[in-house]
Amino acid sequence: MFSLLKKEIQSFLGSLIGYIVIIVFLAIMGLTLWVFPSEMNVLDGEYANLNGLFTTAPWIFMFLIPAVTMRLFADENSSGTIELLLTKPLTDIQIILAKYIAGLLLVVFSLLPTIIYYLSVYYLGSPVGNIDQGGFWGSFIGLLFLASGFVAIGLYASSLSSNQVISFIIALFLSFFFYIGFDFIGSFGMGGLDLLIMKMGINEHYISMSRGVIDSRDALYFFSLIFLFLSLTKLKLSSRNW
């Protein structure tokens, strides 16, 4: 499993896609937070916060993470190496986890440099340290959970097709639906079901974590979401033997 994980990471870092994802994410966030005049610009705001980071990042990840994950299985399917991979002394779960962790690590690498933004706002605040640290770290952990869910969705989408573009589109649609789709459905007002429907979406739990309190129910939701899509991926791989 670890040899496959190492191979996937080297594949990311040995191609442009890994560096492009990291550079594009940091460039967009840097311009949004520090350059472009808007309510998300840290220097234009009246308060020391990084709300712009946590508002914008999910939408950027919605496009970048499918770009990362689209090749994980689609490339294997198109080249025919999936059959060779499945004959190795690895279980389906080990193969899935290796590819999932590799995709997630690349996303984490792109997110870690944003700690510099936190340190900048921390020392620019008046007085120094005048930033809602609980809110920041809660939002940061929430963003990690959100990215983990998107990677699981993208991995499943990649297993559905041998065409990377199709896998990208499927992952983008599913990520969008799970992030904001349930909120849209719940907004129509369905009696007592509207709140329940909204809680099925990622956004409701991401916002909850952004308040700085890590609720076990929110963490359980993300773990369940990841488990669901990894299980669907395993089901898709197993279907080749039917």
pLDDT one-digit tens code per residue, 161-204: 888 899 999 999 999 999 988 777 777 766 667 777 788 889 88
Q: How far apart are CA 57 and CA 235, in angstroms?
A: 31
**84 pLDDT band (50/70/90 cuts)?**
confident
Cis peptide preceding 127, ω within 30 of 0:
yes
Is 80 exceeded by the pLDDT of residue 232? Answer: yes
Q: How far apart are CA 91 and CA 97, in angstroms?
A: 10
pLDDT one-digit tens code per residue, 7-51: 777 777 777 777 888 888 888 888 888 887 777 777 776 666 778
Q: Considering the chain, what percentage of its residues have pLDDT values greater than 70?
A: 93
pLDDT value, residue 51: 80
DSSP 8-state symbol, 189: -
Contact by Cβ (8 Å): 104, 147 = yes
pLDDT value, residue 238: 80
Q: 182's torsion region: left (phi>0), alpha (psi -120 to 50) or beta? A: alpha
39-43, 67-71, 118-122: least confidently modelled range: 39-43
132 vs 48, more confident: 132
Mean pLDDT of 225-240: 89
Position 149: which residue type? G
Is 70 exceeded by the pLDDT of residue 242? Answer: no
Is 90 exceeded by the pLDDT of residue 146? Answer: yes
Burial class (CB in 10 A: 0-12, 13-18, 19+), 189: exposed
Mean pLDDT of 143-171: 92
